[in-house]
A and B are shown apart, each in its own frame.
Chain A
Amino acid sequence: MTDGTLATDLAAPAPAGRSLFALAMRRLLRNRAAVAGAVVLALITLFCVAGPWLSPHPYDRVYRSYVAVPPSLERYPEASALAGAMAGALERARLAMDDFSVDGDGFRVTLRSDRPIDPRNTRYIERLDEFADPRVVETLDDGRTLVVEGRVNRQLFLMGTDRSGRDLMTRIMVGGRISLLVGLLATFVSLLIGVAYGAIAGFAGGRIDNLMMRFVDVLYSLPFVFFVILLVVYFGRDFVLIFVAIGAVEWLDMARIVRGQTLALKRREFVQAAEALGVGTGGILRRHIVPNLLGPVVVFVTLMVPKIILLESFLSFLGLGVQAPLTSWGVLISEGAANIQSAPYLIIFPSIFFVATLFALNFIGDGLRDALDPRDR
C-alpha cells in the first residue's frame, strides 16, 4: 500500500465537515426572499456599473429635439415629426424646402433660395438631433437649389428623457452608481468608527464604558440630520463630505451593537485563556473580539446600506446632495416629483430602481440575520 492510497482511504470516510459558515450559507440559500434579494441587487448593480459604458447616450448629453419625450420601445424621431423638424431647421437657415422624403434610414431634401446657397448651411440640419451626416449631392440652378442627402439619426429612449432632454435610463444608471457608492463608503466610515468605539468601550468596561456610552446616548438624542444638512449647506456640496458626514452620524447604532457583543464575548473562556497566556489588550481585541463580532456586524451593515442610501436621497431630494450634471436616485426622484403632472414616468422609473434596491438589501439583511443567528428564529 502506497502513501497515496492511504491518504485517500483516510479521507473518504471522514464526514464532510460543516463549518459555521457553511451552515449559515445553507440557511441563507434556503431563504427564498434573501436569495431573490441578492439576485435583484446583483442585477441592479451590474446595470448601474456596466450600463453607462454600454448605453448609446452619455448621461449628460442634452438632446434638444427630445425634451421630456415619454418612454418608448420605438426609436425616436417619430416619422411624422421629421418633416416639421426639417422645415424648422431650414427656416432658421432662411431657406425654402422642396420635396422632403425619408427612405428607411436616409433622407433627401431639396433646398431652394433666391440667392446661391452656401453649402455650409447643412450645419443647420446637422445641428438637429434627428439628422446626421448631411451632404450636398446635387447643385442646381447655379447653386440656388441644393439636393441634400443624409442619415436619419434614430435614437432609443427606453425610459424617455428628462426635462433637459437627457436620457433617463443612463441617468438612472449613473445615479445608481452614486447612490450605491455613497451607501457603501458611508457604511464603511461608520463601520470603522462604530466597531472601534464599541469594541473599546465594551472591552474596557467599568467607568470608561459608562462614560463612552453616555456620550453615545447624548449624541443619540440629537436630531443629527439637521447637522448633516448644515454641514452640507455651509461647507459645499462636496461628494466626499456627504459620505463622511453621513458615516460620522450613523456609527452610533453600530457602536451600541458592537459594545453589547463585546461585553458578552469578553467573559468567554477563550478570551480568559488568552489573558492567562499574557496576550495584550490590543492583541485580544484584534485576534479574538473583532473576528467574533463579524456575524452581527455583517447583518447590521446590510441593513445600514439602505438606510444610508435613503439619507443620501433625502439630502439630494432637498437639493443638498450631489450637483448637476452628476446625479443620484434622490435627485432623479426629486426632479420627477416636480414634473409629476406632465411627465409621471420621470418619477416612476427612478423610484422602481430605488425601491427595488432598498427591498433587496432589507431582504438580504433579514436573511443574513436569520442565517447567522439561529436563536433569533
Chain B
Amino acid sequence: MLSYTLRRLLSAIPTLFVIVTVAFFLVRFAPGGPFDLEQPLAPQVLDNLRRAYSLDQPLHLQYLDYLGKLVRGDFGPSYVAIDFTVGEMLRRALPYSVTLGLSALALAIFGGVAAGVFAALRQNSAADYSVMTVATVGVTVPNFVVAPVLQLVFGLMLGLLPIGGWGDGGIAHRLMPTVALALPQMAVIARLTRSSMIEALRADHIRTLRASGLPGHVIIRHALKGALLPVISYLGPAAAALVTGSVVIEKIFAIPGIGAYFVEGALNRDYTLVMGTVVTLAGFVVVFNLLVDLAYAALDPRVRYD
C-alpha cells in the first residue's frame, strides 16, 4: 500500500509538469500579448515593459525561470492588474471557489447517493421513475441553463434569494450557485448509485442477510458498502466537471472566484494570471484524482497495488 501510494504520488508530478509546459508554450506562442493595447505603446515604453517582465529573454530561459519560481510557490506579477502578484489574486479568489466547489461536491455526493438508494429500493415503482426522470433532466440540462432559470424563478419571480454576488458568504447567497453547480453531478451520481445498488441488493451475501432476518437498515448498510465503489471512482471526473462548471457559475452569479479570473485573464492575455489559474485548477484536479485513487485502493481489496 505504501509503495502504491508513493508511486501514485510520483506519477502526479509528470502530469502537473505536462500541464505547466503545455500551458506555458500555448500562451507564449499565441499571437498578441498583454501590451497590445488599442492605442499602441511607444517602442521605448514597450521595450522597458518587456525588460521589466523579462519578456526580452530567450523563451527557454523564461520557461526555466517560471518553473523555478513556480516550485517555490511564486506565480509572478500580473501583467494587467498592476501592483498585484498572481499569488495575491489567487489567494483572494481561492476561498470563494473552494467553498463553492466543496459544498457543491458534498451536495452532489449526499444528494446523489440518497436519491440513488431511494430509487433502487423502490425499483420500477412510480417513485423510482420520477427520481430517474429528474436525474435524466439533471444530466441533460447544462448548468448554464439551470442557473439563469433558478435566478429567474427564485430571485426575480419569488424574490426569495439574491440573484448574484457573494454578500457575506451566507447560505442565502451560496444556495443557488451551489445547487446549480452540483445538479448535473448529483444526477450522474444518482444514476450510478441506483444501478450499482440494484446489483448489490441481488448479491448472494445480501440474500443471506435477508434470509437471516436482519432489519432493513442493516441490509441497506451492507449493500451500500459495495454499491459506493463505482461512485467513488466517478469522483475524479466529477471534480474535473465541477471545476469546469465553476467557471460558468462564477460568471453567472458574479462570484469573484478563480474561474472568473481565468476567463478575465485569458481575454486580457494576462500571461501569468492565465498560467496561475490553469496551474491551480489543474493541480486541484490532479490532486483530487490522486486522493480518489488512493481511497479506492484502500476501500477495494481487489485493486492490485503493483
Contacts and interface: CB of A to CB of B under 8 A. Distances in A.
Interface in B1-51: 14-15, 18-19, 22-23, 26-27, 30-32
B141 A222 contact: no
A226 B140 contact: no
B251 interface: yes
A187 interface: no
B285 A223 contact: yes
B243 interface: yes
A121 to B, nearest CB: 40
B156 interface: yes
A341 to B, nearest CB: 6
Interface string A217-235: 0100111011101110111
A358 B140 contact: yes
Interface string A326-362: 0000100110110011001001000100110011001
A314 B143 CA distance: 9
A230 B278 contact: yes
Contact of B281 (A226, A313, A354): A226
Interface string A260-287: 0000000000000000000000000000
B286 interface: yes
A317 B248 CA distance: 8
B64 interface: no
A223 B30 CA distance: 20
A82 interface: no
B144 A313 contact: yes
A134 interface: no
B187 to A, nearest CB: 12
A306 interface: yes
A336 B282 CA distance: 31
B185 interface: no
A230 B266 contact: yes
B252 interface: yes
Nearest to A354: B145
A226 B144 contact: no
Contacts of B136: 359, 362
A310 interface: yes
Contacts of B286: 221
B240 interface: yes
A25 interface: no
A223 B277 CA distance: 12
Contacts of A225: 244
Contact of A227 (B23, B139, B251, B263): B23
A221 B145 contact: no
A36 interface: no
B158 to A, nearest CB: 14
B274 A230 contact: yes
A318 interface: yes
Chain A interface size, as a band, is 35 or more
Interface in B205-244: 236, 240, 243-244
A334 B152 CA distance: 14
A226 B282 contact: yes
A226 B26 CA distance: 11
Which has the most chain B C-beta neighbours within 10 Å: A218, A222, A358? A222
Contacts of B26: 227, 230-231, 234
Contacts of B15: 218, 221-222
A238 B145 CA distance: 25
B144 A337 contact: yes
B256 to A, nearest CB: 16
B267 interface: yes
B14 A218 contact: yes
Contacts of B244: 223, 225-226, 314
Given A318-B251, A340-B152, A341-B156, A362 B140 contact: yes
A368 B15 CA distance: 36
Interface string B163-207: 000000000000000000000000000000000000000000000
Interface of A: 218, 221-223, 225-227, 229-231, 233-235, 306, 310, 313-314, 317-319, 330, 333-334, 336-337, 340-341, 344, 347, 351, 354-355, 358-359, 362
Closest 5 CB pairs of A and B: A234-B30, A337-B148, A233-B266, A358-B140, A225-B244
Given A218-B14, A233-B30, 6 more contacts: A221-B236, A222-B19, A226-B282, A314-B144, A318-B251, A351-B145
10 contacts: A218-B18, A222-B285, A230-B278, A231-B26, A233-B266, A234-B31, A313-B142, A314-B144, A318-B248, A337-B147
